Structure 1
Amino acid sequence: MNLATTIITFLFVFGGIVWFHEFGHYFFAKRAGILVREFSIGMGPKIFSRQKNGTAYTLRWLPLGGYVRMAGWGEDENSLQPGQPVGLVLNDAGKVAQINTSSKIQLPNALPVEVTHSDLEKALTISGYVAGLGGNVQTYSLEHDATIIEEDGTEIRIAPIDVQMQSAKVWQRILVNFAGPLNNFILSLVLFILLVFMQGGVQYTNTNTIGEVVADSPAAVAGLKSGDAVLSVDGEKISSWPDLTTIVAKSPEKALELEVKRENEELAITLTPKAVESNGTTVGQMGVYAPLKTDLASKIIGGFQLFADNSLAIFKALGSLFTSFSLDKLGGPVMMFQYSQEAAQSGLRTVLALMAILSVNLGIMNLLPIPALDGGKIVLNILEGVRGKPISQEKEGLVTLIGFVFLFGLMILVTWNDIARYFFQ
């Protein structure tokens, strides 16, 4: 049951943030007039597909996020090979409306053709030998919105040059590339705000008043109550929540003398903080929470503050990679699985917190100016805008390939390091 819960949590967290990232690309590509040939939920072999408004919506077996396939973007393929057998379905005007390249699907009204030449982007023609028509090459024109059935049976639109990524304006391409990380930021912010609402409000720390006392904790045993104001600890004046927590953290299993004000009465209470492990260090814990601000504005502002704090922490972590690089500072799917296991054991709030942190992490990492990442693509878009002309596809492809090889190699090293830490330590 624990393993099943962990797997479900991992798929929910990892799949959710990746799907939301890809949906950002999808939404803004559609708005820019770029053909989205496929939007997939999951990876691997196809379970189901349906084509609507030029996009094939597919469901695939591996529920690990998904992907969006835009015309002329990334590894999108839009060609047929000489000698390739295909079936062509013609419309009433004699133009090709459908190209079948799959051996799994038979179209009874399709012309069997052995391709000699094709241009699915500009001329929109396909030439080849037609069975039963002798040895002459026949050439057919394609409908602009013709579809092609791929080997796995997925039917997608062909991608004429006017609906490809590079035909959109530079600012539109920048927005499409930025939209994935933007969606991750939006998801993270919404989840942090939701967490504050689930918590009941945002902690107010500029006070010495206790908000909640945990049952059976050292504070409860000592007689502290919600609403008590801690005036001093061992004679040291307390004016804010950090003042209190700092002293308590430094005093595990040490008796502390607290001066407490309860309504109009001042009390002397002896409390011994419990010793707990935190990041490899033993600290004291008394079992109290700061009071909460419960008004709507405070909750929303609190969500924004959590988002900002976690974003800043990620930037600091990135900075430390440049000053003292270590694979232990990076994590891949194996580490995410481990975090999912810990979160699943702690409950829904911890799962949502993990999802929020990983989502903003994914957004920031994808904006790094590394070829093959969204940030690298944005840099190329900006360079094109400055130069006033596009970078050659050969150069862009080479730069992207270098970035992909770098990221793939780093992913292998990080994954191996995660496996070593997770299974052998």
Structure 2
Amino acid sequence: MITDILSFVVALSILVFVHELGHFLVAKRAGIRVERFSVGYPPKLISVQWGETEYCISAIPFGGYVKVAGMADVGTDEVTGEPWEFPSKSIWVRMAVIAAGPAMNFLFAFAVFVLMFYAWGMETVVSTSVDPGEDSVAAGAGLRKWDRVVGVDDSPVANVHEFEAALTLTAGQGMWVDVVRDGQIITFLLPPSSEERYGLEYLLSSTVGAVIEGTPAEEVGLQEGDRITSVAGVPVRSWDDMRIEISSHPDETVLLTWIRDSRPMETPITPVAHSIGDSTRGHIGISPYTTVQVGLGEAIRMSAGSVYSSSLLILDFIREIFQKDRYKELGGPIRIAMLAGETAQLGLRTFLSFLALLSVNLAILNLLPIPVLDGGHLTFLTLEAVMRRPLSVRQREVFQQIGLVIILGIMVLVTFNDLQQIVYHRVLEFFQ
């Protein structure tokens, strides 16, 4: 519990600091006076006056704010019309100040992904087994389901990342592909085609990508690249088939067979029992993923893709809340704190990944057109640009009150969901 709380405070403090820093930097750049920059909410613990701005660390760590001159919604003094006040600036400048917070969260997530990919590399599936779609270019060239790609144009291919890189280089101009089929290497010519990946889909075979330390797999000597062929006498080809067989033998010694460098091997192994919900399953400590190092340019490209795909995932979830009643899956501060604690215990890399995803989440949620959020302020400014006059004070107050009701309603819902999940798991534990 202590780890959860501390990890949550650290994560939230970092993300709020980054968000408010965006507002602060653009406001300063635009010549708008920033009276206070606070990490956390009052009462103040530490404050330093530097120029016109008071920098604070406050007692309540769940948030933070910047106090911009002339922004009444954050409790500043009455607007006087001074040129350094927020309302005195053009609509586009004010939009830039508001949008800078979410933009910084996107940039922060991007920077974290770059750091992770460059420092630790990227995870990719080691299996290169493929399934040519019916009537695809690959099928027409002679490839079959479960062919394993081992080379492209005389260059070896050891994982999906390397195969994707080779596909990018050929750019649909055709290529020679070496595959392993029934223990034999066969070469095929794929003709030029605009079909994505020449119609090939990936299959997750029972090939080991990584072996976890201190597990039965390490004890019996399994290595990356080993292709498991049977568990307890049951032939397996896909990762799911293998996983199901291993899961069904917790704490039971079974015979495991595999292929390494074309040589068949076998050994007894005892899957470790793990309780998952109300069932017990066996695990031996292997993963289909391996880690490959990438250069800075590749890390930047992949990070942009990660931010983009994370954004689409969050937007799809928001859409499905209204279309498929997924509101029960919404999590609040309690669930976020639990996830923060869990990822922190799994190591720095996992925690940073969680932090990057949470930063994207914060950016998108802040851009929703709900009054009191940045998206609400941008909506007001858009209306001002269209009507060529700002909303009246009374209109803004009404919309702000509606926004507060919406936010409070969401907070009640997610807190209820969190508590419901906790109670559910406690009841399960009690009856186990």
Q: What TM-score, normalized by structure 2, do the two folds share?
A: 0.67
C-alpha separation between the residues in 2 aligned to 1:374 and 1:43? 18
Q: Aligned with 1:163: secondary structure?
A: coil
Return the letter of the residue paired with 2:391: I
Structure 1 residues 270-309: aligned runs within 5 Å: 276=274, 285-289=283-287, 290-296=289-295, 297-309=297-309
**How far did residue 259 of structure 1 move?**
4.6
Contact 1:32 1:172 in 2 (8 A): yes
Query: In the alignment, what sits opposite 1:414?
Result: 414
Contact 1:253 1:275 in 2 (8 A): no
Task: Answer yes or no: is 1:253 the counterpart of 2:174.
Answer: no
Q: Aligned with 2:372: secondary structure?
A: coil
Q: Aligned with 2:74: secondary structure?
A: coil
Structure 1 residues 190-205: aligned runs within 5 Å: 190-205=111-126
Contact 1:231 1:261 in 2 (8 A): no
Q: 1:322 to 1:33 in 2, by over 3 A?
A: same
Q: 1:389 to 1:281 in 2, by over 3 A?
A: farther
Give a deviation string over 1:152-198, Cα, whole Å, max 9, x none.
xxxxxxxx3x2222222222222221111111112222223333345
C-alpha separation between the residues in 2 aligned to 1:167 and 1:50? 27
Query: In the alignment, what sits opposite 2:211?
Result: 213
Return the letter of the residue paired with 1:407: I
Query: In the alignment, what sits opposite 1:180?
Result: 101
Contact 2:255 2:266 in 1 (8 A): no
How large is the RMSD of aligned CA atoms in angstroms? 3.3
C-alpha separation between the residues in 1 aligned to 2:263 and 2:286? 20
Q: 1:326 to 1:204 in 2, by over 3 A?
A: closer
Structure 1 residues 380-391: aligned runs within 5 Å: 380-391=380-391
Q: Aligned with 2:395: secondary structure?
A: helix
Task: Answer yes or no: is 1:351 the counterpart of 2:351.
Answer: yes
Q: 1:15 to 1:281 in 2, by over 3 A?
A: farther
Q: Aligned with 2:18: secondary structure?
A: helix
Query: In the alignment, what sits opposite 1:225?
Result: 223
Give a deviation string over 1:223-267, Cα, whole Å, max 9, x none.
422343568996665xxxxx43x32333323668655132x5454
Q: What TM-score, normalized by structure 1, do the two folds share?
A: 0.68
**How far did residue 68 of structure 1 move?**
0.7
Give a deviation string over 1:274-329, Cα, whole Å, max 9, x none.
66566888776442342322121444444444434433332232122112446532
**How far did residue 121 of structure 1 move?**
0.6
Contact 2:270 2:284 in 1 (8 A): yes
Query: In the alignment, what sits opposite 1:398?
Result: 398
Query: In the alignment, what sits opposite 2:163?
Result: none
Query: In the alignment, what sits opposite 2:366?
Result: 366
Once structures 1 and 2 are overlaid, which stretch shifts more, 50-59 or 175-184? 50-59
Contact 2:118 2:294 in 1 (8 A): no
Contact 1:260 1:269 in 2 (8 A): no
C-alpha separation between the residues in 1 aligned to 2:118 and 2:273? 30
Query: In the alignment, what sits opposite 1:60?
Result: 58
C-alpha separation between the residues in 2 aligned to 1:279 and 1:198? 35
Q: 1:216 to 1:336 in 2, by over 3 A?
A: closer
C-alpha separation between the residues in 2 aligned to 1:295 and 1:24? 30
Return the letter of the residue paired with 1:247: D
C-alpha separation between the residues in 1 aligned to 2:91 and 2:374? 14
Q: Percent identity?
A: 33
Query: In the alignment, what sits opposite 1:113?
Result: none
Once structures 1 and 2 are overlaid, which stretch shifts more, 355-364 or 323-332? 323-332
Return the letter of the residue paired with 1:189: F
Contact 2:16 2:39 in 1 (8 A): no
Contact 1:250 1:283 in 2 (8 A): no
Contact 2:226 2:258 in 1 (8 A): no
Query: In the alignment, what sits opposite 2:42?
Result: 44
Contact 1:248 1:285 in 2 (8 A): no
Q: Which has the larger radius of gyration?
A: 1
C-alpha separation between the residues in 1 aligned to 2:302 and 2:281? 27
C-alpha separation between the residues in 1 aligned to 2:279 and 2:105? 33
Q: Which runs of 5+ in 2 are unaligned?
A: 129-158, 160-204, 427-432
Contact 2:26 2:96 in 1 (8 A): yes
Q: 1:351 to 1:228 in 2, by over 3 A?
A: same
Task: Answer yes or no: is 1:166 the counterpart of 2:87.
Answer: yes
Return the letter of the residue paired with 2:74: E
**How far did residue 23 of structure 1 move?**
1.0
Return the letter of the residue paired with 1:178: A
Give a deviation string over 1:22-59, Cα, whole Å, max 9, x none.
11111111122222121112211123333333222222
Q: 1:49 to 1:223 in 2, by over 3 A?
A: closer
C-alpha separation between the residues in 1 aligned to 2:44 and 2:218? 57
**How far did residue 15 of structure 1 move?**
1.2
Query: In the alignment, what sits opposite 1:155?
Result: none
Aligned residues: 338
Contact 1:314 1:361 in 2 (8 A): yes
Match for residue 18 of structure 2 among 2, 9, 20: 20
Match for residue 35 of structure 1 among 19, 22, 33: 33
